[in-house]
Every structure is written in structure tokens, then in C-alpha cells.
Structure 1
Amino acid sequence: MSTNSTQLDSRAFGLACGLLWACGVVVLGITARFGWGKRWERLLADVYRGYNETTTGLLVGAVWAFVDGFTGGYAFAWLYDRLR
């Protein structure tokens, strides 16, 4: 078995984390329109400037969340590969 088979592709892992987190933030914003998850929405609005349950706010939040998720995922995969 090759040693490279257990390495994570940092870019791909970052993209997956970014997309997953951005979708989660958008879903949370949509559910907040119906009264569910309002506290979480307010918490994320404190972190992601411009995020709210409006269509524009969801787009802004998705961009922030993607950057946040990508950065965290990339850093995690990079560190994992260095420590293994």
C-alpha cells in the first residue's frame, strides 16, 4: 500500500468543508424565516457580518461560511498530512 493513499487532498477537503458549511448556514437562515433556529441565526449574524434571513443576507452568509469552512478544512487537512 502506498504511503500517499492516506494523505488528504487539502484543497478538496477545504472545498468540501466550505460547501457543506455554506449550505448549512443557508438552511439555517431559511428555517429561521419560519421561527426555527433564531438563536443560532443571531449567533451567526454576530460572526458573519451582513448575514440574516433575507435572500441577500443568506448569500452574504453563504460566502462568509464558505470562506470560513474552506479555511478550516484546508488547515485541518494540511495539519493532518504533516502529523501523520
Structure 2
Amino acid sequence: MKLKPLSLGIALGLVWGGSLFITTWLSYYTGYGKLFLEVLAKSIYPEYTISPLGSFLGLFYGFFDGFVSAWLIAVIYNKISIK
């Protein structure tokens, strides 16, 4: 079975970017997930903050990060999988 790198990249990019977007808004209003975002997102993504603007930065960075990671996984899997 071959994986489709573009499809997998878009799917994981949407999941990770959307997760950061939603978690940022939840944290902004309720404080939920604040430690997670401070430890993970702030340390990895430049200029990310727990704010409305930060939610869109998280969406962008998360999509890009998820897309590239999933694309690489699919490409490597397709290269090493036994046909």
C-alpha cells in the first residue's frame, strides 16, 4: 500500500493547525491548556502567544509543521515499504 504524501500532509496539517487554533482560543478565555501551549507552542513557534493573533499564527505554523512532517513520513514510508 502506498501513501499519498500530499493528502496525508494536508490531513495532518489541518488536524495539528486546527488543534493549536482551538486550544489557543480555549486557553485565552478559560486558561485550559495554558501550560501545554506555553511549554510546547511558545518554545517551538516564533512569536506565538496565547492571544487571538497567536491563534492564527498557531494555525499557520501548525498546518505547516503538520504538513511537512506527514509528507516526509509518507515519502519515507513509500521508499522503504516492501511492494
Within the candidate set 52, 56, 78, 2:49 is matched to 52
> Could you list the runs of 4 or more consecutive aligned residues of structure 1 that deviate by over 6 angstroms after TM superposition?
none
Sequence identity percentage: 24
Which residues of structure 2 form unaligned runs of 5+?
none
Structure whose CA Rg is larger: 1
Give the Cα–Cα distance (whole angstroms) in 1 for the partners of residues 43 and 26 of structure 2. Answer: 18
Within the candidate set 27, 32, 35, 1:32 is matched to 27
Within 5 Å, give how 1:1-84 maps onto structure 2: 6-33=1-28, 34-43=30-39, 44-84=41-81
Aligned residues: 79
Give the Cα–Cα distance (whole angstroms) in 1 for the partners of residues 61 and 47 of structure 2. Answer: 9
TM-score for the superposition, normalised by structure 2: 0.88
For the 8 Å contact 1:10–1:78, the answer to whether it is kept is yes
Which residues of structure 1 form unaligned runs of 5+?
1-5
Q: Deviations over 1:15-61 (max 9, x none)?
A: 11111100011111112120111111112112111222221111111
Q: CA RMSD in A?
A: 1.0
